[in-house]
Amino acid sequence: MHRSRLGNIVIDCQTDDLLSEAHFWSAALGYPLPEDLDAAGKFIQLVTPPNDVQVIIQRVSHEARAHLDIETDSIDSEVARLEHLGATVVSRNNGWVVMQAPSGHRFCVGSPYRGGFDQGANTWE
């Protein structure tokens, strides 16, 4: 038995100006920028309500897209469950696994990183 839930919506931006992209998504979604943001970093996490799904604006080298992060208390069990549903492993990284859904969409599976996991996660046998 293990647990999982949606953790992040990650907006991948192929850009040299991550702050400009974050300003757009902040205004579009109504989530403020963090006070201590690093515009030169790889990502900017918008400020969402406590225990809510996080929205991350991420600098990438591939084409622009959005992907989901699933957080789980057992990465191996969740990857196996998702493979059984038809997903495939794209790459294994230190702390997370990149997968691809049958539809072609990429997503990540990693450990819990925001509050409320015990209250909000699905339980899988």
**Tens digits of residue pLDDT in 50-70:** 889 999 999 999 999 999 999
Instruction: Kindly report whether the global pTM for this prediction surpasses the value 0.85.
Output: yes
Residue by residue, DSSP assigns 67-108 as: EEEEEES-HHHHHHHHHHTT-EEEEEETTEEEEE-TTS-EEE
**Tens digits of residue pLDDT in 72-118:** 999 999 999 999 999 999 999 999 999 999 999 999 999 998 888 98
For the chain, the domains span 2-124
Assign domain 2-124 to its CATH superfamily: 2,3-Dihydroxybiphenyl 1,2-Dioxygenase, domain 1 (3.10.180.10)
Distance CA 84, CA 119 (A): 25
